[in-house]
Amino acid sequence: MTSGRFITIEGGEGAGKSTLLRGLVAALTQAGIGALATREPGGAPGAEEIRRLLLEGPPERWDAESEALLMVAARRSHLTGTIWPALASGRWVVCDRFADSTLAYQGYAGGVKLAELTMLHRLIAGDFAPDLTLVLDLPVATGLARAAARPGGETRFERKDRDFHERLRQGFLEIARREPQRCVVIDAAAPPHAVLAAALAALRERLQAKV
């Protein structure tokens, strides 16, 4: 049992997840709620090392099955080293990506069977799931243009073809359709302040957060 709440932010490339993460943690902190910002892949020392393996190099460096195995290895490190201890201490954890990204990237877009990905998640996390997932949705062209404009260059995933990213977007929307009690879809094409306002409204409605 955990006393904190676990909020995840999902969506395709360039959707504004990092910007929303910062805004949510600032709002929670201002409201007197202890909050931790984290990310996937990453969020713990071992997981950050795996992050570099996943994001660097050419798109074909790993196939989808290899990506899935690396992702869940990183996630296990993240859960045991960061997420679960923070929740147990009563903090709210806001995470840029979690298991839905594995379903969307390696499953819906990459072709790995969803049942196999679900089994992998159960192996490392049991029935643990976010209390609330915010799915940031926007047209693929807009997201990729935003991602390309960021400093630091493109990641392996951003360099995958347009069809991959279209499948990815539809995958996230399908996840939200399947689990409406957990997921809230937000129009990520809106200005950042409007995206944050929609996210805070979801926290108030779904988690009774006083933010």
pLDDT in tens, 27-44: 999 999 999 999 999 999
Q: How far is CA 138 from the centre of its chain?
A: 15
Are 41 and 50 in contact by the 8 Å Cβ rule? The answer is yes
Q: How far apart are CA 184 and CA 19, in angstroms?
A: 17
As a whole number, mean pLDDT of residues 14-34 equals 96
Measured on CA atoms in the order 159, 162, 167, 169, is the torsion positive or negative? positive
- Domains of the chain are 6-206 (3.40.50.300)
Residue 34: closest CA among 77, 97, 94, 81:
94
pLDDT tens digit sequence for 67-92? 999 999 999 999 999 999 999 999 99
Least confident range of 54-58, 89-93, 118-122, 191-195: 54-58
Confidence of residue 151 (pLDDT cuts 50, 70, 90): confident
